[in-house]
Amino acid sequence: MTDAVPALRVEALDFSYGQVQVLFGIDLTVEAGEAVALLGTNGAGKSTLLKAVCGLLRPSTGRVSLFGEDITTMGTDRRVAAGLVQVPGGRATFPSLTVEENLRAGAWTFRRRRALVAERLAEVLDLFPELGSRLDSVGGTLSGGQQQMLALGRALMLRPRLLLIDELSLGLAPVVVERLLETVRQLNADGTTVLLVEQSVNIALSLATTAYFLERGTVRFGGPAAELVDRDDLVRSVFLDGASAALGGYT
Partner 1 sequence: MDLVVVLDWPMHLEFPVSVIFLGAIVGMSYGLLATGLVLVYRAQRIINLAHAQLGVVGAAVLAYTVLQLDWPWPVGFVAGVVAAALLGVVTEVTVLRRLADAPRVIVLVATIGAAQLFVFIAYLILNRIDGRIGGFPLPFDDRVAIGRYLVLTDSHLLILRLVPPAAIAVGLILRFTSFGLAVRASAENADAARLAGIPTRRVAMGVWGLAGAMAALSAICLAPDKGLALTDALGPELLVRALAAAVLARLMFLGRAFAAGIAIGVVEQLVFWNTSSNGVVEVALFVVILGAFGLQARRRESTRTEERSSWELARLTRPLPSRLAADRRVRAAGWVGAAVVTAGAALAPLWLSNSQTFLMTGIVNLAILAVSVSLLTGISGQISLGQVAFLGLGAAIAHQVATELDLPFLPAVAAAGVVGAAAAVAIGLPALRLRGLFLAVTTLGFALVSQRWLLGQDWMAGVGAQLARPELFGVSFHGQHAYYLLALTGLAGAVLVTRTVLGGPLGRTMVAVRDNEAQAAALGVDTTRAKLLAFAVSGFLAAVAGALYGYGAEQFSPENFPVADGLRIVSVAVIGGLGSLGGTVVAAFVVFGVDRLVDVAEVRLFMTAAGLLVVLMFLPGGLAGPLARIRDAAATRIARPTPRTRQASPPHSADKPDQFGRGSSAEAVAEGSA
Q: List residues near partner 1 by CB under 8 A.
A: 51, 54-56, 75-77, 80-81, 85-88, 92-97, 101, 104-106, 108-109, 111, 151, 154-155, 158
Distance of closest approach, residue 135 Cβ to partner 1, in angstroms: 14
CB 15 within 8 A of CB 52: yes
Q: Which is nearer to partner 1, 164 or 219 (CB)?
A: 164
Q: How far is the CB of 111 from partner 1 (least distance, A)?
A: 4
Closest contact distance (angstroms) between CB of 236 and partner 1 is 33
Least gap, CB of 86 to partner 1 (angstroms): 5
Nearer to partner 1, 16 or 218 (CB): 16
In a 10 Å sphere around its CB, with 0-12 CB exposed, 13-18 middle and 19+ buried, how is residue 153 labelled? buried
Return the number of the residue (46 or 238) whose C-beta is nearest partner 1.
46
Q: Are 55 and 74 a contacting pair, CB within 8 Å?
A: yes
- Closest to partner 1 by CB, 27 vs 101, is 101
Between 6 and 106, name the residue whose CB sits nearer to partner 1.
106
Residue 43: partners with Cβ closer than 8 Å, 6 or more residues away: none
Q: How far is the CB of 85 from partner 1 (least distance, A)?
A: 7
Question: Which is closer to partner 1, CB of 96 or CB of 202?
Answer: 96
Quote the least distance from Cβ 183 to partner 1, whole Å.
18
Backbone phi, then psi, for 131, in 5-degree steps?
A: -75, -35
How many helices (H) and strands (E) the chain has is answered by: 10, 10
CA distances 130 to 75, 134, 161, 200, Å, are 33, 7, 25, 26
Dihedral sign of CA atoms 116, 117, 118, 122 in order? positive
> How many Cβ atoms from other residues are within 10 Å of residue 186's Cβ?
11
